[in-house]
Each structure stands twice: as structure tokens, then as C-alpha cells.
Amino acid sequence: MTIPESARNGANSTWVSVVGARPQFVKLAPVCRAIDQHNRNSSTSIIQHRILHTGQHYDREIAELLFEQMAIPHPDHNLGVGSSSHGTQLARMIQNMEPILRSERIDWVIVYGDTNSTLAGALLAARLNIPLAHVEAGCRSGDIGMPEEQNRVVADHLSQVLLTPSQVALDNLLREGIGGDADPRKRVSVLAGDVMYDALLQHLKLADNRAAENLRQFSLESKGYYLLTLHRAENTNNRQRLASILRGVKLLDLPVLFPVHPRTKQVLAAAGLSLNGKIRPIPPLGFLEMLAMEKHARKILTDSGGVQKEAFYLGVPCVTLRDQTEWPETVGCGANRIAGTEPELIRQAVMENHARDWSAFTPYGNGSSAEKIVDQLSAADRE
């Protein structure tokens, strides 16, 4: 990026985005674009944006390929922490991140979503007294036993600016006393909308261009298959739950395309569970291929939060293989059914008719959330 002459002596600020897992790369992409746009348009304030990749995800299909397809700048730092137990992974992230966050004056650390990389970035920024912003703040499943719920609650409580994807998420924060008028810590909670919607709109045309080729590659016809994703620890770490879901999926009437997350691949092999019958396992897909295969699926079955929303945006009915969701709006309008993990309940949820059209319902903003986020943080910079 070229810094305009007029801004060279103006106010510069340094923001560090901490990411590490697949859904965070998706959320980061529109924020990078919005920062570039800000820098092109502003004659007075330039944002130096550094990307710090913890290395939590490292397989090409779920890391590097997303950076390439979404034109995300190469990370400034890669901590290369890789996989291990939660404790070791978190400890490595924090230890490797500390000298980087101490090495220069940082105006914002930005964390995204609810992974271990979110928790590590939030905790360290708070400890080093660096202003912290949380993108996708305020989501709650109500199950504090989930690592993701623990991560998001801690990140929210430590942040100064909380950027929520929906009114429901904003209300959750206000109920917890974060960011309202009465907040003694003067934290700011705002309705920013969903950056994943920005990402989808920015890449849908590219995905459409390759959809026919992708369908041919998997010998599938548009609306002639279901798409399945499954990776949550609550499902994969429990052999009985995993086997029960697969029994339900095998009862369906169409082929089921199943991009298998690395975690799930290992668990399936270790548990000796087979994927024969209607299920067609394939390696994880890139972002563009995933959008294409989501759009053309008859229905989507998933335990991922991001995939539930992408189904909603693409007008594809979704069946969620969990007992609760952080995205209640998708359920309220009939786009999404919470099926749990019982085989017969899964079969029924997929076979029943869903509401036909929820396109007029827009609880997650209009696709310009990243711009709002950059405006909000740069306004706070100036205060």
C-alpha cells in the first residue's frame, strides 16, 4: 500500500489483528479491505495493519488457501503453534505473542470470533494494557462447557470496543453490563453487523464462476445433494454422538457431500467409524469451492456457526447438528432447524419443509460491517 504524501506527517495508528483458525481468516479478509479503503481515502490518518497468525490451523486447505483465495496479505508474524492440548496451545500462543505485542506502540489489538487464538490475543492484550476490540462480540450459546463459549465470554469482558453482529448479540452484552450507559468501565458495544456477510458478498461472484466445474468434479447436480460439515469438539470428541449423527445422515434420500475437517478425520479413524452409503467424504474445501457447494446444495447439515449463517445468506435451508445455536435469528425465521444428534430427529428435520423465503429478513447488516468496524476503531483512536 502506498501512503499518500499528505498523510505522511498525519496521525498514524497501528492495529494488530490476531487470527489463527479458518473462520478467522474469513472474518479478517473484509477488515483488510476496509482498512485499505480507509488508507486510500484518508488524507490525515493511516492505519498500519499487522496480521499476527498464531498458526493454530496450518493445513493448506484450511489456512494458506484461504489467504490466497481471499487476497489477504501475507501475515506479518506466524507463531507456528500448531496442534496440542488446549493448555499447551494457549501457553505457546501467549508466550510467542508477547515479544511481538511489546515491540512497538499498538493502538488496537483486534480479535475475532471465539477460538483459542481469540482467547490468547484477548488475554495478552489486556495484560499488556493494549486497547482490545472484539469482532463478533456478544454471541452466546448458553453452554459455558463449550471452549468457544468460554473464549467469547472472556474476550468480551476484556474488550474496550465490542463489535456485535446482531441486535440479539448486542442485547446479550448489555444484559451482562458490558458497554451500556451504566458501564463503569466505559466500554463501547455497537451493532456492526456480520463481517462474514461482507466476505460472502465479496466472493460470491468468484464462487459462481467455478460452481459448474465444482459440481462436475463431484459428479453432483445443483440441488441434488446435501452438504455436511462436522467438527465441533462436543460432537467429535464423543464417539456415541458422532456415530448417532452419522446414522441419521445415512437415512437421507440424496448423496451427502462431506468435506472432512482434519479433527474429524482423525477421530473417525480412531473410532473406527465408516462413511459408506450416501456419505461422500472429501478433503476440506477452499472458501470459494465451499460457497459454491453450499449454494447448490438442497440443504446443509452442520455444527459450524459460520456455515449456518452462510446457508441463511444463500437461501439454503439448514439443519444444525447441535442442541443450541449462537445464531437464533436463523431459527426464528425458519431458515435453520436445531436437530440435535438423534438419527430420527435429524432425518425428520431434513425431510420436512422449511420456510421458503427469508430474504427480506436482514438481522446481520447489509454487507458493510467491516467499514463500520474500521470507522468505529479509527474514531476511538482520535479520542
- Structural Rg of the chain based on CA atoms: 21
Q: Does 22 interact with ligand UD1 (rule: CB under 6 A)?
A: yes
- In the list 26, 34, 51, 62, the residue contacting ligand UD1 (rule: CB under 6 A) is 62
Taken in order 328, 285, 203, 36, is the CA torsion positive or negative?
Answer: positive
| CB nearer to ligand UD1: pick between 148 and 198 | 148
* Candidate ranges 109-117, 123-131, 246-254, 366-374; the one touching ligand UD1 (CB under 6 A): 109-117
Q: Does 114 interact with ligand UD1 (rule: CB under 6 A)?
A: yes
| Residue that is written with C-alpha cell 456455515 in the block | 307
- Smallest gap from Cβ 361 to ligand UD1, in A, equals 25
Judge whether 135 and 117 are in contact, CB under 8 Å.
Answer: no
Q: Does 334 interact with ligand UD1 (rule: CB under 6 A)?
A: no
Q: Does 262 interact with ligand UD1 (rule: CB under 6 A)?
A: yes
CB neighbourhood size of 313 (10 A): 22
- In the list 32, 36, 48, 58, the residue contacting ligand UD1 (rule: CB under 6 A) is 58
Which grid cell is 208? 459462481
Span 266-285, contacts to ligand UD1 by CB under 6 A? 266
Q: Does 107 interact with ligand UD1 (rule: CB under 6 A)?
A: no
Q: Does 148 interact with ligand UD1 (rule: CB under 6 A)?
A: yes
Number of helices followed by number of strands (H, E) in the chain: 16, 13
List the catalytic residue out of 38, 231, 261, 296. Answer: 231
User: Catalytic: 74?
Assistant: no
| CB nearer to ligand UD1: pick between 70 and 377 | 70
The phi and psi torsions of 5 (rounded to 5 degrees) equal -50, -45
Q: Does 149 interact with ligand UD1 (rule: CB under 6 A)?
A: no
Report the alpha-carbon distance of residue 95 to residue 275 in Å, rounded. Answer: 40
Which grid cell is 289? 469451492
- Smallest gap from Cβ 130 to ligand UD1, in A, equals 21
Report the alpha-carbon distance of residue 54 to residue 125 in Å, rounded. Answer: 14
Span 193-252, contacts to ligand UD1 by CB under 6 A? 231
- Smallest gap from Cβ 105 to ligand UD1, in A, equals 29
Report the alpha-carbon distance of residue 130 to residue 156 in Å, rounded. Answer: 15
Report the alpha-carbon distance of residue 184 to residue 180 in Å, rounded. Answer: 9
Pairing of strands 318-320, 299-302: parallel
| CB nearer to ligand UD1: pick between 112 and 358 | 112
- Smallest gap from Cβ 41 to ligand UD1, in A, equals 33
DSSP notation for 193-236: --HHHHHHHHHHHHHHHTHHHHHHHTT--TTSSEEEE---HHHH
- In the list 13, 17, 69, 116, the residue contacting ligand UD1 (rule: CB under 6 A) is 116
Q: Does 83 interact with ligand UD1 (rule: CB under 6 A)?
A: yes
Number of residues that bind ligand UD1 (CB under 6 A): 20
| Residue that is written with C-alpha cell 461482507 in the block | 198
Q: Does 94 interact with ligand UD1 (rule: CB under 6 A)?
A: no
Active site residues: 231
- Applying CB under 6 A, the residues found at the interface with ligand UD1 are 21-23, 56-59, 62-63, 83, 114-116, 147-148, 231, 261-263, 266
